[in-house]
């Protein structure tokens, strides 16, 4: 299978991600998809669990920015409510806009990770950027039509990736790295 679709790590959901492993791996900055990664695509603001996750992430010293293909209003409302940097209409898996967003791509790539639920947008974009990535499971099955188009192929590729799940897991309490 093509390397361009392969994530660095896997976790079932964002809450399972072991921040210590990220730290030990030199990660300092997190780019994160919004819909179906942080909250389901129809949910407008974070609940207690997500707020705690944002806080924890902050305490560990990571920066967080949302990179979403969704429209400005949706992304801005969520991000500004929680004081998070954001890029809407990001056009993943293309990386022109993301590069511009992250200091014109003039970054230390070893310090960045992209978290997302979709292989054909999030993971592919991360690989094009040359940064590491964490694939998570989509929070809900019901989703926007845009995402649905990619989902079938995503599932097929995901099945193959998950055969290596133990090798690439970054979940808390997991001894495999
Ligand atoms: Mg998503």
Give me ligand 1 centre to Cα 136, in Å: 9
pLDDT at 1 over 90: no
Q: pTM to 2 decimals? A: 0.93
Give me ligand 1 centre to Cα 33, in Å: 6
Average pLDDT, the chain: 92
Give me ligand 1 centre to Cα 36, in Å: 5
- Give residue-wise pLDDT tens across range 98-152: 999 998 878 999 999 999 999 999 999 999 999 999 999 999 876 566 666 677 8
Give the tokens for residue 47.
């609940």
User: Going by C-beta distance under 8 Å and a sequence separation of 6 or more, which residues neighbour residue 107?
Assistant: 29
Q: Which fold has domain 3-168?
A: Rossmann fold (3.40.50)
Give me ligand 1 centre to Cα 40, in Å: 8
pLDDT at 171 over 50: yes
> 67-89 burial by CB neighbour count: b if 16+ within 10 A, else e?
bbbbeeebbeebbeebebebbbe
pLDDT at 176 over 80: no
- Give the model's pLDDT for residue 103: 86
Please give the average per-residue pLDDT across 64-91, as a whole number: 97
pLDDT at 177 over 90: no
pLDDT at 70 over 60: yes
Q: Where do the structural domains in the chain lie, given as residue ranges? A: 3-168
Give me ligand 1 centre to Cα 51, in Å: 18
Strand order in the sheet with 29-32: 9-10, 132-135, 112-116, 29-32, 63-67, 85-87
What is the spatial distance between Cα 126 and Cα 32, in angstroms, rounded to a whole number? Answer: 10
- Give the model's pLDDT for residue 119: 94
Cis peptide before 117 (omega within 30 of 0): no
Higher pLDDT among residues 177 and 170, named by residue: 170
Give me ligand 1 centre to Cα 107, in Å: 24
């Amino acid at each position: 299978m093509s390397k361009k679709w392969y994530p660095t790590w896997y976790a079932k959901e964002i809450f399972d991600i072991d921040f210590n492993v990220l730290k030990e791996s030199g990660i300092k900055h997190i780019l994160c998809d919004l819909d179906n990664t942080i909250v389901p695509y129809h949910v407008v603001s974070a609940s207690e669990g997500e707020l705690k996750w944002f806080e924890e992430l902050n305490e560990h010293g990571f920066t967080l920015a949302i990179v979403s293909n969704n429209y400005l209003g949706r992304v801005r409302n969520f991000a500004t409510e929680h004081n998070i940097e954001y890029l809407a209409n990001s056009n993943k898996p293309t990386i022109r806009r993301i590069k511009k967003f992250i200091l014109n791509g003039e970054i230390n790539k070893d310090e960045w990770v992209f978290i997302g639920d979709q292989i054909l947008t999030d993971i592919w974009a991360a690989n094009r950027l040359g940064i590491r990535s964490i694939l998570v499971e989509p929070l809900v099955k019901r989703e926007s039509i845009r995402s649905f188009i990619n989902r079938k192929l995503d599932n097929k590729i995901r099945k193959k990736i998950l055969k290596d799940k133990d090798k690439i897991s970054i979940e808390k309490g997991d001894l495999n790295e």
